[in-house]
Structure 1
Amino acid sequence: MTATVFGPSADGGTMVDRPAPADISELILDLQARGLRLETQIERRTGGAGPTDSGMLWVEGFPVTAPTDNAVAADSPYVLRGEDDGYGIYREGVRLAGARAERRPRFYDLKTADGIPYEQIALLHLDSLASTVVQHCTYWGNDDQCTFCGIGLSLESGRTIARKTPEQLAEVAVAARDLDGAVDATLTTGSTRGVDRGALYVARCGQAIKEASGLPVEVQFEPPYDLDVINQVGEMGIDSVGIHIETFDPAVLARVAPGKARTGIDGYFAAWERAVEVFGEGQVSTYVILGMGEDPEATIEGCKRAVDIGVYPFVVPLRPVAGSLMADWKPPTRAYTQPIYSKVLAYMTQRGMGSTTAKAGCARCQACSGLSSMEPLLQIRPRPVG
């Protein structure tokens, strides 16, 4: 039976009947696994990299990206319907939760002086401005290509430009802040063959955004060959960094990301340790993708080891990208992801790390993970005595 709790409405007024935290968390994990059919229009990403083919919405206050534009979503038992005040998520005619979606960002309708639409420079993911500053990667189109990645697809479709300049990104960030309430910026980049692997350019872009808009900024890059590059990134005033290993299972890493596998898991830990020295505990994060055939225990132990040195393991379900080498894979089920989330989150909570720790970036946003929706479950459990 579905339990409910009573709480204030979204506007802080009348007390309303709301789903219990456990029900909301299970729903969010299921939406990320099984998608959401739309009976109304909402802002969403289609095609290319990022949280692609997905709707972006708030489910009972939690940020969520869920598949809406692919075969998974077409067969989903969940439906999003428009209501008088927002949206509702239904299954077999039963309303499970309320939802809110963002309107199309106003800054999308603007262009730079040389005629480039702002929408091709950066996108708004709920309240976070996001951009891939260099849309090329040294791994793309060869034997090193990451099988889950779609970085080249956005460019091929004409949805973006190959290289964004710091000046362009700063201009767009100010507009996104002023017109649409962006609260931070998340910048990523394709890897290069240089010593810095592209870190210094993405950091220059982040520095320009921060100086122009004041928004906190996360930049994401691969471990540089020279770890002193991380110190240089810190000197540019960047708030947080993402250095993404993708999986702690070495066999899976070699299969899905051969180029990253050459750095090795210990190589990532070396980069993280330096980054934590520069940015502080909780300001360094790594993506950990579930559903690629990894060993769950190796995943949990790797996450714990990362937490021990101050790194936030941003655990997410596989989101197959149309046109990528893993396009035919399916997102992992809630039955698979929930126990892993639970164990990793419990360990993070013990170490004082949570969804409010990071100043900027994916770990701050949380929409592509189920971690933040499970935090209330730990908070309401009684603490052991003694």
Structure 2
Amino acid sequence: MNYVLTRTHFDDTATLREAWAKYPDFPRLIALKIDVQRRGVHYTDGALTLVDPALHQLRSANIFGTRDEKVRYLLPDSLLLRDGTSIVVDPAPLEWGPYVVDRVDDRLFLFDQGERLEEVELWHKPAFYDRSTSSGVPMNLIAQARPQRINIFQSSFCYFWAKDDGGCQFCDIVNFTKQQREVLSDRPERPRARDIAETVKEALKEKGRFTTFCLTGGSVLKGEELFDLEVSHYIETLQAIGENFTTKKFPSQLVASAFNEKQLRRLWEETGLTSYTSDLEVLNERLFEWICPGKAKHVGYREWRDRLIRAVDIFGRGNVNTGIVGGVELARPLGFQGEGEALEATLSEAEYLAERGVTTIHTVWVPRPGSQFRDQVAPSLDYYIRLASGLHRLRVKYGLSIDFDDYRRCGNHPDTDLARLL
């Protein structure tokens, strides 16, 4: 279980146990989750003997790639800790220093350099994964599951990358799409409305399993106005989902481009959508222009931010949020030079949004091989603990709910894991 560390994509100056000692009031399991997300996992051969494809959810179609640049679908999708915390994580090369998942008797545990830390469980596969639509498409290619959420990826191509100005520098959506196409040749480029409606109907037969839907995909720039076609695609998908409900609205989240008020009102009035997310990615105008050049050129930082604020008038306070790739604000050479400076700037801008009814969530930055930032180094565990704590405190201060994107429904945001403390 020991390894020789030859290359890292994360700051390893602070250990997990040092973080536990430094922040005794921060939940230990959430700190562990953050560190596992930073470093990734390696499954031993022994661990894989406990993986049952008939019972467990294996890796499935996605829109973002893995740390090892491999498309492997016989590995577990993700992990659960003993308190129900989800760890959305992917495999990492052993030489990068990931956590190791190994078998002890008939149970799975996380190890770090030979030390056994915590027991983990595998996600259970939903029943609809073994079904196909009437057109013959496997339903697990139409929708994917989190423990309590149904994900539908509208598309796996971002048109910002089709322009000379380029897509977000940390993102590998286009490269991974090409990889997946070679393996999942029967996956539709864009799921059809009838297949979506049938898949959702089948998924909802598993009573009590799912509590919400999440739709996302790459940006589509086409239309009479920027993003009009993307909006129309999402309306079609949401209406297909809505066929399975007798109420006008149903619990749902859309993670999409920065739509204007006319487009947002269409979504609100024509579908059952209840919450809206549009990712700024980094809360700093100067860095936004460097890291997200396509977004900066076609919309701009301040307009993207203002569209989020205007969305609050439509969806309501606490039903609009923005995601950031936590830590990318420290990317070299143009990022902040110190973690303290980066944290202060990020939380200040997050408070500007919180005052206006928009909440901010963060993911843990993974410098993926298929991205422009492949050789960057993500910040320390200490930084992520302070970032998660700071974003959580802002939601408490301004009375903002995060029910639609919390620890039960998503599980990818350490700061929303803290919502269970309220």
Give the corresponding residue for 2:350.
303
TM-score by length of 2: 0.75
Give the corresponding residue for 2:338.
none
Range with bigger deviation, 275-284 or 326-335: 326-335
Tell whether the 8 Å contact from 1:287 to 1:315 is kept in structure 2 after alignment: yes
Q: Distance in 1 between matches of 2:40 and 2:163?
A: 31
Whether 2:221 is the aligned partner of 1:186: answer no
Whether 2:91 is the aligned partner of 1:57: answer no
Q: For 1:114-263, what aligned pairs fall within 5 Å after superposition?
A: 114-143=135-164, 144-156=166-178, 157-158=180-181, 159=184, 160-179=187-206, 181-193=209-221, 194=223, 195=225, 197=227, 198-212=230-244, 216-224=251-259, 226-235=260-269, 236-262=271-297, 263=299
- Report how far residue 154 of structure 1 moved: 4.7
Tell whether the 8 Å contact from 1:147 to 1:326 is kept in structure 2 after alignment: yes
Residue of structure 2 aligned with 1:332, choices 379, 383, 386: 379
Q: Distance in 2 between matches of 1:74 and 1:68?
A: 15
Structural RMSD (CA): 3.1
Whether 2:118 is the aligned partner of 1:103: answer no
- Report how far residue 141 of structure 1 moved: 3.9
SS of residue paired to 2:159: coil
Q: Deviations over 1:317-375 (max 9, x none)?
A: 11334423233334432122112222221121122235xx333x578634222113445
Give the corresponding residue for 2:312.
276
SS of residue paired to 1:103: coil
Range with bigger deviation, 46-55 or 85-94: 46-55
- Report how far residue 205 of structure 1 moved: 0.8
Tell whether the 8 Å contact from 2:129 to 2:140 is kept in structure 1 after alignment: yes
Tell whether the 8 Å contact from 2:39 to 2:92 is kept in structure 1 after alignment: no
Q: Distance in 2 between matches of 1:349 and 1:170?
A: 37
TM-score by length of 1: 0.81
Higher relative contact order (CA 8 A, sep 6+): 2
Tell whether the 8 Å contact from 2:63 to 2:217 is kept in structure 1 after alignment: no
SS of residue paired to 1:208: helix
Q: Distance in 2 between matches of 1:65 and 1:343?
A: 21
Q: Distance in 2 between matches of 1:351 and 1:62?
A: 27
More strand by share: 1
Range with bigger deviation, 256-265 or 33-42: 33-42
Q: Distance in 2 between matches of 1:201 and 1:332?
A: 37
Q: CA separation of 1:373/1:363 partners in 2, compared to 1, >3 Å: closer, same or farther?
A: closer
Q: Deviations over 1:86-105 (max 9, x none)?
A: 53323355443332221333
Range with bigger deviation, 62-71 or 339-348: 62-71
Range with bigger deviation, 283-292 or 199-208: 199-208
Q: Deviations over 1:60-95 (max 9, x none)?
A: 324333544123x65436332346775332335544
Tell whether the 8 Å contact from 2:318 to 2:359 is kept in structure 1 after alignment: yes
Range with bigger deviation, 265-274 or 58-67: 58-67
Q: Distance in 2 between matches of 1:277 and 1:253?
A: 25
Give the corresponding residue for 1:28.
33
Tell me which amino acid in the other structure corresponds to 1:203. Answer: I
Give the corresponding residue for 1:14.
none
Q: Distance in 2 between matches of 1:171 and 1:68?
A: 29
Q: Distance in 2 between matches of 1:55 and 1:337?
A: 23
Tell whether the 8 Å contact from 1:31 to 1:66 is kept in structure 2 after alignment: no
SS of residue paired to 2:108: strand
SS of residue paired to 1:33: helix
SS of residue paired to 2:160: coil
Whether 2:99 is the aligned partner of 1:78: answer yes
Tell whether the 8 Å contact from 1:121 to 1:169 is kept in structure 2 after alignment: yes
Q: CA separation of 1:141/1:74 partners in 2, compared to 1, >3 Å: closer, same or farther?
A: farther
Q: Distance in 2 between matches of 1:115 and 1:363?
A: 34
Q: CA separation of 1:221/1:374 partners in 2, compared to 1, >3 Å: closer, same or farther?
A: closer
Range with bigger deviation, 119-128 or 42-51: 42-51
SS of residue paired to 2:244: helix
Q: Distance in 1 between matches of 2:309 and 2:58?
A: 36
Q: Distance in 2 between matches of 1:311 and 1:75?
A: 36
SS of residue paired to 2:120: strand
Q: Distance in 2 between matches of 1:47 and 1:129?
A: 13
- Report how far residue 307 of structure 1 moved: 1.2
Q: Distance in 1 between matches of 2:100 and 2:283?
A: 35
Q: CA separation of 1:25/1:155 partners in 2, compared to 1, >3 Å: closer, same or farther?
A: closer
Tell whether the 8 Å contact from 2:87 to 2:411 is kept in structure 1 after alignment: yes
